[in-house]
Amino acid sequence: MRGLTNHPHPSPLPLGEGTAKMIPLSLHALTAAALILPGLLQSPAYAADDDEVDFQYSHYQEGKRNLGGVVNDLNAIEVEGLHGGAKVSLTDRIKFAFNYTQDTWGGATPRFNTPVDGANSDIITHKILASASPKYNVFSNKIDANNNILNIIDSDPVDGHSIYAKQDTRWVHTLAVASPETRKQGDFKLSYQWDETALDVGGGISVENDYESRFGNLSLRQDFNQKQASVNLGLSYTNSDTTVALSELDLVYIDSSFYKDQLDDIIDNPSNPFRPKGATLKGNRQDWATTLGITQILNQDALIEASMGYTRSTGYMANPYKAVLIEYIDPLQTPGLSGERTALFRPVLEKRPDLRNQWNWAMRYGQYIQPLDAALHLDYRFNHDDWGVNAHTFEADWGQPVGNGWTITPRVRYYSQSAADFYQPVFVVNQAAPQVSLINVPHDPAKYPANYSSDQRLSGYGALSGGVTVSKQFTKGVSMEAGFEYYSHAGSLKLGGGGEDKFADFNYYVANAALKVNLEALTNHGGIGSDSSDSNHYTHHHDLAPAGVLFSHMLTQADKFMVGYRYMRSSEAGDMLHGTVAVDDARVVNQGCPVDSAGGCRQTATGMTMNMHMLDLMYAPTDWLNLMLMPQFVDMEMTLRPLAGAPPDLDVGHHAGSGGPSSGHTTGGVGDTGMYALFKLFNNPIHHVHLGLGLSAPTGDVGIRVRKLSHQDLGYIHYGMQLGSGTWDFKPSLTYTGQTGAWAWGSQVNGTKRLEDRNSSGYALGDLFQGTAWGSHSLTDWLSVSVRGVYTWQGSINHQYNRERPKGFISDLSSQCLRSDYMYQGDTNGDGEPDGPLILDAPAYQACLAAAAVSVPADNAIAQQKQDSIQRSTPMDQPSNYGGHYVDVGFGLNVNVPYGKFAGHSLKFEWLQPVYTDVNGYQLDRDGALSVNWSYAF
Amino acid sequence: MKTTTSTANLLMLGLGIALTACAPVQPWERGNLAKPQMALDLYPLQSALRAHNYGSREAAAGGNAAQGGGCGCY
């Protein structure tokens, strides 16, 4: 995400008053003198980045869209983001930085617009309430001479012809819901600094299931006048591919004559040549961007940066999930008696130009406010492009230090843009609608606008946002920051008015929390440089356990900290196992799923990968007690295949239509959070024993459901794909380590006991017990190798997902036989005409109830079977197919840096190879697991 | 379009010339400017996140090209 812009960084040793008082005079003089030397002088706006490791978590949450009065029970877009990065100096002049970013998003997003009124309100409810997917079929409605939708309000008393009137002319979004998807990005930057010049070369890649983007950038900075001014020149290139698997339903959007060149892997439909059963939409875009900026110190308290940029983008720039509603009006039709005509409405995929030129001009101003020791920043940016979008951005923030290392920064931002030339909420095409069934109507593409989009991002609107960031600088170079921002998008906020109507308004908030460890400040504060004996002690005595062992060591000195990052990747692939033996598909079909409800398994996994990112924060209040906090971020991916000989689907399942890249699931987000205390039980120069007691808090989501764009809600995802346990868990451990000479060894027993019987989704994961022992040998003073054996037992899942009533479930027999249908008026005076009070025809009513008592349970059972054939159709949906006995052998490599610039750092790797697998029920075989662990104690 | 572009470019050029006329500020007089709160980008991690959010929600990506960020297809 960081490319062209050179992010300045707070100086580790601020030269302002607060710190100046504490620095001895001689040092102050020396520092001031050093500042005059060109090589050490830093331009304030481009302060040299210190060596640093940082982590950030963010949560984006959109508010629910207003659907013109229709009840919206769909979850709005939600994004969980994780970022980790490091900047290190390779030499005095060469710096290297890399970043890893991951977002997982899911929720309901607008697809196209439809009229609130007329026949279409039915569509909104149908789309949104019943199936949660847009209705794709053409619908027709009467319109007036101005193309407004008409409704029948009366009929003519004389000839009976319908009388129409314009009703509600508002538009409303139709939403489509997506189950979670994950994007991963890695990027790097290599910088070389001369005395007054700096050159950065960077690049990276961003990968998601339907979009892959590769980018490279180059930037050059030249300082002038003892760095009073700097000129920055940047160039970047991005190449992105869109690859979207379209289902039969999606393809109804697409008139293949429009997208012929972009469709690939077309699966023909023998019964309808105009509606393929599947295809892949492919597109490529390229962006070249250049920027030129100047930063200038204006006086002792103010600086300014002015920049301009140009971006040229070519290729496929449309969003493959956004459509427009086209109103087809056949000009040859004869208007009705009230002058009304008929229009056909049909959504088609949006179309954007394949060239875009963008220019932007920006100004940033910073003013120091002496009496308050605060800083005011004012930014303005103007964007202009040849799509017709002109945008202004105003931003202001106020950085206010409040003592003890705390800084509070409130911020406000206003953004306004004009609509793109080809944006409209709906488009009119004056010709008969193209074929929708088997009849191909002659159709003239020239009668469409050249480009069309109803994406609200291209509409005219304004956005107001504001937030606050609080940061705290701890001693020893550790700082934390937390931010919150609320953003409101509204047509009425557009500068000068004329924005889009209210239907497109929405809002979101973002919360983020970051932890930064400044490695150079640590050295400056004597964290390691002045205390190498201790870090050696630490390194050599306790850090030889393999990467995969948690709680393997303690900090042995009071008031010490450790920051660590753990990455674990485990994968499953290969045969389906029952116990220890591989079984064929027929066996899985017949026994892997409950036959009574779903009729057997239909699909199974071909692979599953889990990535866990853990932050490992440790503090020693005393030498016998360590406290640990371990937040986690997890993501998972599973691929599926149909089982040979599986029973047919009873309903359109979530795996139906698979075969393309969509035949799988991904999930990701915050996992459970561990809180532990380690107690030293015994310690001498050779042997060490400690006890760990802790709790795992259920911060990971266990209610994730499967929902793909243009399909219905398909129930909970497979148990193993949820992000946490959903229960509070007790996690004790007992660890023994020993060391003599170059040899070290250890063993540990640990367990997980679920403290609750069920989580909010109705089940609980099985308890877990693990025993492990290892030995390691130091090859040099910085490198050691290890071998480890692990035995793991885990119970199967207890209970199951909360059972949900299937669609069409009848809960009340009497609803099938309405008493009012069996009431008749008696004949009291015997004249054969009904004249008495209403009487219940009891025998007929009872007969109806008796019949319902037979038919309703049968119908319910069928509805349940249909649902089960979707929701319980794989072995991974069965609680009994979890857990087992496992034996693994681990091979590890540990790097501990004893001295020099990176003293105190430790980097470990371990590969766990399964050697014995005995699964409960039917499960996919295991492939192995990789653990990587970086830690730093200070 | 052309007028907008060239007017803005002219303004920028004028500004550039004006800036070179600033009075010199000696390096030892830059204590206030070196304060963390005076950095043009006080919270780079958060800025990158915000730029990504704005970029996936607004038409003016603001020179965000080549910084990755993916599709933002939601």
DSSP state of A63: P
Q: Which residues contact A546 (CB under 8 A, 6 or more apart)?
A: A552, A774, A776, A786, A788, A890, A892, A894, A908, A910, A931
Q: Domain check: are A638 and A579 in the same one? A: yes
Residues of chain A with pLDDT below 70 are 1-49, 117-138, 167-169, 249, 253-257, 273-275, 435-442, 522-542, 595-598, 649-663, 707-713
* Facing B59 at nearest CB: one of A213, A381, A417: A417
Give CA–CA dist A555/A566, Å, rounded. 17
Q: Domain check: are A580 and A499 in the same one? A: no
Give CA–CA dist A341/A334, Å, rounded. 7
Distances (CA, A) of A454 to A499, A637, A779, B73: 14, 33, 64, 14
What per-residue confidence (pLDDT) applies to A117? 59
Say if CB A352 and CB A385 are below 8 A apart. Answer: no
Rounded to 5°, angle at Cα A802 from A796 and A807: 135
Domain ranges, residue A572: 526-802+865-937
Bridge-based pairing state of the strands A427-429 and A323-329? parallel
- Coil, strand or helix: which one is A129? helix
Q: Which residues contact A625 (CB under 8 A, 6 or more apart)?
A: A677, A678, A679, A680
Residue A862: its H or E element:
helix A842-871
Burial class (CB in 10 A: 0-12, 13-18, 19+), A519: buried
Write out pLDDT tens, residues B12-37.
Answer: 667 666 666 667 888 888 889 989 89
Does A246 reside within a domain?
Answer: yes
Rounded to 5°, angle at Cα A299 from A298 and A302: 70
End-to-end CA distance of chain B: 30
Whole-model pTM above 0.80?
no
Chain A residues with CB under 8 Å of B36 CB are 10-11, 14, 399, 401, 407, 473
CB atoms within 10 A of CB A805: 12
What per-residue confidence (pLDDT) applies to B18? 66
Q: Which tokens go with A500?
A: 């889009």
Q: What is the dihedral of CA A162, A166, A169, A175, to 10 degrees?
A: 0
Give CA–CA dist A890/A913, Å, rounded. 6
B34 at interface of A, judged by CB pairs closer than 8 A: yes
* Facing A238 at nearest CB: one of B31, B34, B66: B66
Q: Domain check: are A588 and A701 in the same one? A: yes
A residues 803-842 lying closer than 8 A (beta carbon) to B: none
A108 at interface of B, judged by CB pairs closer than 8 A: no
DSSP state of A653: -
Nearest in space to A906 (alpha carbons), one of A914, A916, A896, A920: A896
Does A173 reside within a domain?
Answer: yes
Size of interface A-B (CB pairs under 8 A): 287
Q: Which amino acid is residue A468, in one-letter code?
A: V
Q: Domain check: are A716 and A847 in the same one? A: no
Task: Report the chain B residue with the minimal C-alpha distance to residue A321.
Answer: B73
Give CA–CA dist B11/A873, Å, rounded. 66
Q: Do A1 and B53 touch (CB under 8 A)?
A: no
3-state secondary structure A596-608: HHHCCCCEEEEEE
Q: Domain check: are A376 and A503 in the same one? A: yes
Q: Do B4 and A399 touch (CB under 8 A)?
A: no
Q: Do B65 and A308 touch (CB under 8 A)?
A: no
**Distance, in angstroms, between A888 CA and closest chain B CA?**
38
Q: Which tokens go with B64?
A: 């965000």
Q: Domain check: are A307 and A351 in the same one? A: yes
Q: Domain check: are A723 and A828 in the same one? A: no
Does A6 reside within a domain?
Answer: no
A389 at interface of B, judged by CB pairs closer than 8 A: yes
Q: Domain check: are A910 and A875 in the same one? A: yes
What per-residue confidence (pLDDT) applies to A257? 66
B19 at interface of A, judged by CB pairs closer than 8 A: yes
Q: How far is CA A296 from the centre of its chain?
A: 39
Give CA–CA dist A528/A522, Å, rounded. 7
**Distance, in angstroms, between A237 CA and closest chain B CA?**
6
Chain A residues with CB under 8 Å of B40 CB are 8, 45, 295, 303, 305, 364, 366, 377
Does A128 reside within a domain?
Answer: yes
Task: Report the chain B residue with the minimal C-alpha distance to residue A1.
Answer: B67
Q: How confident is the model at residue B68 (pLDDT cuts 50, 70, 90)?
A: very low
**Distance, in angstroms, between A251 CA and closest chain B CA?**
18
Q: Which tokens go with A594?
A: 């409950």
Chain A residues with CB under 8 Å of B27 CB are 32, 35-36, 41, 226-227
Q: Which of A456, A484, A518 is the last residue of a domain?
A: A518
Does A381 reside within a domain?
Answer: yes
Give CA–CA dist B63/A705, Å, rounded. 37
**Distance, in angstroms, between A15 CA and closest chain B CA?**
5
Give CA–CA dist A60/A862, Å, rounded. 40
Name A406's bridge partners. Answer: A403, A472
Task: Report the chain B residue with the minimal C-alpha distance to residue A44.
Answer: B34
Residue A341, CB-side half-sphere exposure with 13 Å CA sphere: 20
Q: Do B19 and A304 touch (CB under 8 A)?
A: yes
Q: What is the dihedral of CA A212, A713, A426, A494, to 10 degrees?
A: -70
Looking at residue A759, which CATH number applies to its domain?
A: 2.40.160.40
Write out pLDDT tens, residues A430-441.
Answer: 888 775 544 455
Distances (CA, A) of A547 to A86, A777, A893: 20, 14, 8
Q: Which residues contact A383 (CB under 8 A, 6 or more apart)?
A: A358, A359, A360, A389, A390, A391, A392, A393, A417, B60, B62
Q: Domain check: are A692 and A732 in the same one? A: yes
Q: Do B33 and A400 touch (CB under 8 A)?
A: no
B13 at interface of A, judged by CB pairs closer than 8 A: no
Q: Which of A473, A501, A518 is the last residue of a domain?
A: A518
Q: Do A210 and B73 touch (CB under 8 A)?
A: yes
Residue with tokens 């940029």: A309
Task: Report the chain B residue with the minimal C-alpha distance to residue A297.
Answer: B25
Overall number of domains in chain A: 3
Residue with tokens 């923030």: A397
Does A10 reside within a domain?
Answer: no
Q: Which tokens go with A868?
A: 């089960």
What per-residue confidence (pLDDT) applies to A560? 86
What per-residue confidence (pLDDT) applies to B64? 47
* Facing B59 at nearest CB: one of A11, A36, A420: A420
Q: Which of A518, A539, A569 is the last residue of a domain?
A: A518
Q: Do A383 and B40 touch (CB under 8 A)?
A: no
Q: Do A228 and B22 touch (CB under 8 A)?
A: yes
Q: Domain check: are A849 and A891 in the same one? A: no
Q: Do A58 and B27 touch (CB under 8 A)?
A: no
What per-residue confidence (pLDDT) applies to A281? 87
Task: Report the chain A residue with the minimal C-alpha distance to residue B1.
Answer: A386
Q: Domain check: are A428 and A571 in the same one? A: no
Q: Which of B7, B11, B22, B46 to mutate to test the interface with A (most CBs of A within 10 A)?
A: B46
Task: Report the chain B residue with the minimal C-alpha distance to residue A101.
Answer: B69
Does A3 reside within a domain?
Answer: no
Rounded to 5°, angle at Cα A463 from A457 and A466: 135
A515 at interface of B, judged by CB pairs closer than 8 A: no
What per-residue confidence (pLDDT) applies to A1? 34
Q: Do A300 and B41 touch (CB under 8 A)?
A: no
* Facing B48 at nearest CB: one of A2, A237, A306: A2
A residues 223-242 lying closer than 8 A (beta carbon) to B: 225-229, 236-238, 240, 242
Give CA–CA dist B70/A209, Å, rounded. 11
Task: Report the chain A residue with the minimal C-alpha distance to residue B3.
Answer: A384
Q: Domain check: are A247 and A219 in the same one? A: yes
Q: Do B71 and A319 touch (CB under 8 A)?
A: yes
Distances (CA, A) of A738 to A380, A540, A553: 62, 11, 11
B17 at interface of A, judged by CB pairs closer than 8 A: no
Does A185 reside within a domain?
Answer: no
